[in-house]
Amino acid sequence: MLVEQYGPLKGQMLQIMDETGFIVQPDLVPDLSDEEWLELYKTMLRTRTADMKALQLQRQGRMLTYAPNTGQEAAQVGSAAAMEKNDWHVPAFRELGAWLHRGVPLETVYLYWYGNEYGSKFPEGVKNLPIAVPIGSQLAHGVGLAMASNIKGERDVTVAYIGDGGTSIGDFSEALNFAGVFEAPIVFIIQNNQYAISVARHKQTKAETLVQKAVAAGIPGILVDGNDLMAMYAATKDAIDRARQGGGPTLIEAYTYRLGAHTTSDDPTKYREDSEVEKWKPKDPIKRMKAYLISRGVWSEEQDEAFQEEYGEYALEVFRKVEAEGEPKVEDLFKYTYKEMPAHIREQYEEYLEYLEGKVE
């Protein structure tokens, strides 16, 4: 088990591939073929391309506030790839790579950020919870799913995500505590991108690492290079296998960096230096994985550029379809907030319908 070597108090970070795409720990490379790694890399490229397209569209006033993912593709895709189809994915709001890998259509993602309620409706068989904007609330939901899996005797494992800032919220500690006590089959992944909106990680907590918070909950934890696709896959697969075998929860800290803004409403230049961002750019997960695949002879710069251009055109086509559906409908707020509309909401809904009919002002 990797957690035995890279435990929360070991002071070591799991890395299999360095910043140049060189394999530094050959014995730990997961057993995937070059073709399988290439497919995961393509998902990372789709994530980056769709992300950049969303930013452009938002700046044009065609999309609502958007949370960028650039720089965190490996943390998302690597962890999602370790999951099986029957497992539950519980996101926060910055898991685009995981959504795409798990089968959430790009159209659905764009619908959400467009303000359409159908952005939270996934295809049949896609076991993803909707985006959770309230910080930390999704972790309790994830633990509930995992506990239900145990009670029902299912093999499902839940993988739940949170940002570094969310680890300072009470919901985080409560979820870890519950998961530990009930040995819930869940893997918690902290996407430590170094900033909770405008607050630097070192100002949030005196803890040397975020993964050491697993110690108080009595559960295993592991610190991982979040920009290393292979390391993220290996650590998550290890934790999922352990959970599926009845070993309980694991906390993973994916040490990464948010290259862009917290959201499109944020100006990161007000709280961090451009020089800091420049230091992280060589660690870009896209660059290192591309270098590895090129060295293996299964990819090229030309293919890379062509793929991004093609997917960029596809992403724009998808968004045009979203726009063509028109502005989000007010009545959807009433219809899709609850499974069954409560009496007080139904009363408001009926009053709204009367307003549309001109019966009330």
Q: What residues are labeled active site? A: 258, 262, 271
Q: The tokens of 158 are what?
A: 């839940």
Report the sign of the C-alpha dihedral through residues 130, 159, 133, 216, in that order: positive
Characterize the bridge pairing of strands 88-90 and 158-163.
Answer: parallel
Rounded distance between C-alpha atoms, residue 342 and residue 219, angstroms: 39
Q: Which residues of 314-347 are buried (b: 16+ CB within 10 A; e: fewer)?
A: ebeebbeebeeeeebeeeeebeeeeeeeeeeeee
Token pair 């790009």 is found at 106
Rounded distance between C-alpha atoms, residue 288 and residue 322, angstroms: 34
Rounded distance between C-alpha atoms, residue 166 and residue 197, angstroms: 11
Q: Tell me the sheet residues that pair with 302.
A: none
Rounded distance between C-alpha atoms, residue 89 and residue 26, angstroms: 29
* E strands present in the chain: 88-90, 158-163, 186-192, 195-196, 199-200, 221-225, 250-255
Instruction: Give the residue among 184, 124, 189 at the shortest CA–CA distance from 149.
Output: 184
Q: Are 310 and 50 in contact (CB under 8 A)?
A: no
Rounded distance between C-alpha atoms, residue 136 and residue 143, angstroms: 12
Rounded distance between C-alpha atoms, residue 57 and residue 316, angstroms: 9
Cβ-based neighbours of 37, under 8 Å, separated by 6 or more: 229, 230, 289, 292, 293
Q: Running DSSP on this structure, what letter comes out for residue 123?
A: P
Token pair 């720089």 is found at 71
Q: Are 160 and 142 in contact (CB under 8 A)?
A: yes
